Amino acid sequence: MRYISTRGLAPVLGFEDTLLAGLAADGGLYVPEAWPSLTKDQWRALRGLSYPELTARILAPFVDDAIDPATLTRLCREAYAGFGHPAVAPLVQLDHRLFALELFHGPTLAFKDFALQLLGRLFDHVLARRGSRITIVGATSGDTGSAAIEACRDRANIDIVILHPKGRTSAIQRRQMTTVLAPNVANVAVEGTFDDCQDLVKAMFADAPFRDEMRLSAVNSINWARVAAQIAYYAYAALALGAPERQVAFAVPTGNFGNVLAASAARRMGLSVHSLTLGANRNDILARFIAANDMSIRTVEPSLSPSMDIQVSSNFERLLFELMDRDAGATAKAMAAFRAEGRMPVPDATWRRATALFRASACDDAATLAEITRLDRAGYLADPHTAIGVAAARAHMPPDPDIPVVVAATAHPAKFPDAVAQATGRRPALPARLADLETRPERCAELPNDLASIEAFVRRHALRNAPREIA
């Protein structure tokens, strides 16, 4: 398996180099040169596998011969061994055809753990074999940062710096990052929005001398391996509900588009996916695009669902590349216009191809609270992001009553206790392993939205942490 950039000007890479590169050198995102496809018989053969075994089988064509099957299976088993539910990703029935796919039983209580617990081990495996070291830089709107830190803490060959928007994550999200005092971990609170943090990360990758000096790598969903690892839980849910003989629809609360992109990738691989519904909050750029081909940037507004407070969804570029028949030049042109003008010119024919698969709706904070209350009265406690996914699913149920709808339950309600308490009158408790989180000491730098300041901090952290001659 080889990987190409969505903008067509970066080198074609194998899996290991794609894993370590993250962002392509031309500013694009790596995607498979050709999509692997499974027959119905091959999908049937995956039924009944444990979650780690299924993940290894789904990843095998993307990894190809870079990692042997036995090692890949071992890494997957290790990645999910510490999850708090024996099914790893259990399905909970909400009504006669609506299900919650609980993706919050990992160490940081969010869906990001599924990819990042594995990604940390993949990095370690590849770096140890190469005798090399990397510096990971990432931006987070709340959940990616803690999951990445938990996956990379104390690893011998990795330094990690995570940027988050100051004051724009929940207190629990912030503390899950800033209370990790491992020497290879650093946190930066940036004076700005998540989009500002994401732009800083992209700018560091675009700064070729700095990128090479620091041996930068990425854990955001710009890293293809992270998207690939998330395909497995869509397959796991669909197979449990009767695929490939039965179609399944998914509803996904969406910010940076990587999670729902993994569901789209599962469909490209032949999984019986009927439709994909995006749930957005007041930062509704993706919902506006699906509804009216309006891909225009507005001001990022804080909400009760901070992981979705995003206007520039990085992974949308991967979808655009496919919608444009993999025309890298057209993709690069559209992305350049988006950055320059704040609006993406998507041809109507291309937009209609998106609406053939995707549905979308948006919830403001009041509607989010109302959905949390509604679910609570029915016996299910949901965080704000999951509630938005459920509301979107209810708005776009497939007309065929035999098609079940699976909502990606992306975070534990205890990560957002204030919102849940506002809707239900009670604050959900953290699991026992995190019960003392609010009293742990924090360590975090506060820096302006300035590339030079951020690069200087990253350089100091990497060199202080692991003195070495950096090529």
| Burial bucket for residue 219 (CB in 10 Å: 0-12, 13-18, 19+) | buried
For 263, the enclosing helix (H) or strand (E) is helix 258-268
Question: Catalytic one among 40, 112, 202, 415?
Answer: 112
Task: Decide the pairing of beta strands 158-165 and 134-139.
Answer: parallel
Determine how many CB atoms are found less than 10 A away from the CB of residue 227: 24
Side-by-side strand order, sheet with 134-139: 216-217, 134-139, 158-165, 185-190, 445-447
Query: How far apart are the C-alpha atoms of 65 and 295, rounded to whole Å?
Result: 39
The beta-strand segments (E) located in 353-409 are 358-362, 405-409
Query: How far apart are the C-alpha atoms of 142 and 140, rounded to whole Å?
Result: 5
Helix (H, G, I), strand (E, B) or coil at 209: helix
Active site residue 415: no
Length of the chain: 471
Cβ atoms of 277 and 249 within 8 Å: the answer is: yes
What residues are paired with 248 via a beta bridge? 273
For 27: left if phi > 0, alpha if psi spans -120 to 50, otherwise beta; the answer is: left
Query: How far apart are the C-alpha atoms of 175 and 166, rounded to whole Å?
Result: 12
Please provide residue 110's backbone torsions phi and psi, each rounded to the nearest 5 degrees: -145, 160
Cβ atoms of 256 and 197 within 8 Å: the answer is: no
Query: How far apart are the C-alpha atoms of 344 and 266, rounded to whole Å?
Result: 26
What are the structure tokens assigned to 467, written together?
Answer: 């003195």
Determine how many CB atoms are found less than 10 A away from the CB of residue 442: 12
Query: How far apart are the C-alpha atoms of 221 and 3, rounded to whole Å?
Result: 15
Tokens 């205890």 — which residue?
414
Query: How far apart are the C-alpha atoms of 83 and 398, rounded to whole Å?
Result: 32
Determine how many CB atoms are found less than 10 A away from the CB of residue 180: 23
Query: How far apart are the C-alpha atoms of 469 and 466, rounded to whole Å?
Result: 10
DSSP state of 251: E
Cβ atoms of 278 and 360 within 8 Å: the answer is: yes
What are the structure tokens assigned to 417, written together?
Answer: 């206790």
Query: How far apart are the C-alpha atoms of 117 and 133, rounded to whole Å?
Result: 18
Q: Catalogue the active-site residues.
A: 112
